[in-house]
Amino acid sequence: MDHIEQTFSVRFEYKVFFTNHLFAPDNFLFRNFLKATSTDIPKKVFFVIDEGVAKHHPQLPEQIKNYFANEPGFALVKDIMVIPGGEQSKNTESHFYSIVQAVDAHGIDRHSYIVAIGGGAVLDLVGYAAAVSHRGIRHIRIPTTVLSQNDSGVGVKNGINYLGKKNFLGTFVPPAAVFNDHFFLTTLSDAEWRSGMSEAVKVALIKDRAFFGWLKANAALLADRNMEAMQYLIKRCAELHLQHIAGGDPFEMGSSRPLDFGHWSAHKVEQLSDFTIRHGEAVAMGIALDSAYSFLSGKLEETDAKTIVDVLKSLGFSVTHPLMDIQNGESPVLKGLNEFREHLGGRLTIMLLESVGRGEEVHELDTIMLQKASQWLKTC
């Protein structure tokens, strides 16, 4: 049969910057980035800010306006949009449509930028709106939480929750750039500070034994909000995530998702709690459960499993919850396995541990063993 075949590749490149006080008058980082990408076509810059960030940094909108006051070639959209933060921003389509309508109202085109300032949920939402408006408007991420600075904000995923399922609608579109401003971390609650550290534990456990050793040694400092330790955690975690993204399957065409270690139950328990359990808190419990399963199934040494649990506890996490309790095959959290399989594309692939720093993928989990893992965590 006659046919025409076409193959092409698209190169993506973006930088993750680390700074303090990004919009201070004497901080030229953001300004220089925009100038480096300038053309003869004037660019509009439209900001969307997480409501929680706006509350804790009430001077931020005015700082942004002053920062752009004398910048030829860039037209700041004066109507800076503020939207609710947290998972609620992704649970309804109304915020998505508000951003799309603003794109239309302000004439934001494909030569312009949409800049999101906020936690991971707001970055996901704004990135999705940018990706589908005009088939793609460049978006810049300014993560403001530990979780978004070390994990979700540096990746290529965007999306919203739909039909009661996490990230059911979404895109794989890299940001134009990411700016991690450490100053935003100073106003986080203790729970928000802690929440993002679970993703560092996750990536260390599957990719970097030495980094896990560092986390163990510095757990007390991190729990006590030591900024120097947190800055190292964020940068190392971001490095490991970026290395993985560049490793061969950035848009997750296959079923292998090593960075989803601990996530099959985490996503479900978030939903079961009506998102009162933060993502990072749920991931910590998911890591503990899958580490316990790895031990009980003979893959991981018991001492390593106990060390993982101890590190999570030292960082301030709970390692189990009534909603994570597995009593039988009908326990609600187990529905997460099938939903995870659907999200992966039909074949269940779960990352377990065969040692600290080394993961192994499996394609099924035994319900009886999961019950035992759930009960084992109660004894820790």
Q: Is residue 10 part of a domain?
A: no
Shared domain check, 338 and 223: yes
Helix axes 263-272, 335-344, angle to 10 degrees: 120
Q: Is the pLDDT of residue 256 over 60?
A: no
CATH number of the domain bearing residue 160: 3.40.50.1970
Shared domain check, 155 and 70: yes
Mean pLDDT, range 317-323, rounded to an integer: 96
Shared domain check, 206 and 143: no
Shared domain check, 269 and 167: no
Shared domain check, 233 and 353: yes
Domain boundary among 187, 202, 237: 187
Domain boundary among 137, 168, 187: 187
Q: Is the pLDDT of residue 89 over 70?
A: yes
Q: Is residue 143 part of a domain?
A: yes
Q: Is the pLDDT of residue 172 over 70?
A: yes
Q: Is residue 347 part of a domain?
A: yes
Q: What is the pLDDT of residue 255?
A: 44
State how many domains the chain has: 2
Mean pLDDT of the chain: 91
The rounded percent of the chain whose pLDDT value lies above 70 is: 95
Q: What is the pLDDT of residue 253?
A: 55
Shared domain check, 208 and 158: no
**Residue 345: pLDDT band by 50, 70, 90 thresholds?**
low
Q: Is the pLDDT of residue 259 over 80?
A: no
Q: How far apart are CA 201 and CA 14, in angstroms?
A: 25
Q: Is residue 1 part of a domain?
A: no
**Residue 173: pLDDT band by 50, 70, 90 thresholds?**
very high
Dihedral sign for Cα atoms in the order 309, 311, 312, 318: positive
Beta strands at 74-76 and 81-83: parallel, antiparallel or unpaired:
unpaired
Tell me the residue range of the domain where 37 lies.
Answer: 15-187
Q: What is the pLDDT of residue 338?
A: 81
DSSP-derived 3-state class of residue 269: helix
DSSP-derived 3-state class of residue 45: strand
Q: Which of 345, 335, 181, 374 is nearest to 251 (CA)?
A: 345
Q: Is the pLDDT of residue 73 over 80?
A: no
Angle subtended at Cα 292 by Cα 285 and Cα 196, rounded to the nearest 5 degrees:
30
Q: What is the tens place of the pLDDT at every residue in 126-153?
A: 999 999 999 999 999 999 999 999 988 9
Shared domain check, 56 and 91: yes
Shared domain check, 108 and 29: yes
Shared domain check, 175 and 131: yes
360: phi > 0 → left, psi -120 to 50 → alpha, else beta; which? beta
Q: Are 182 and 229 spatial neighbours (Cβ–Cβ below 8 Å)?
A: no
Shared domain check, 93 and 54: yes
Q: What is the pLDDT of residue 41?
A: 74
Q: Is residue 9 part of a domain?
A: no
Shared domain check, 203 and 180: no
Shared domain check, 238 and 223: yes
Q: Is residue 8 part of a domain?
A: no
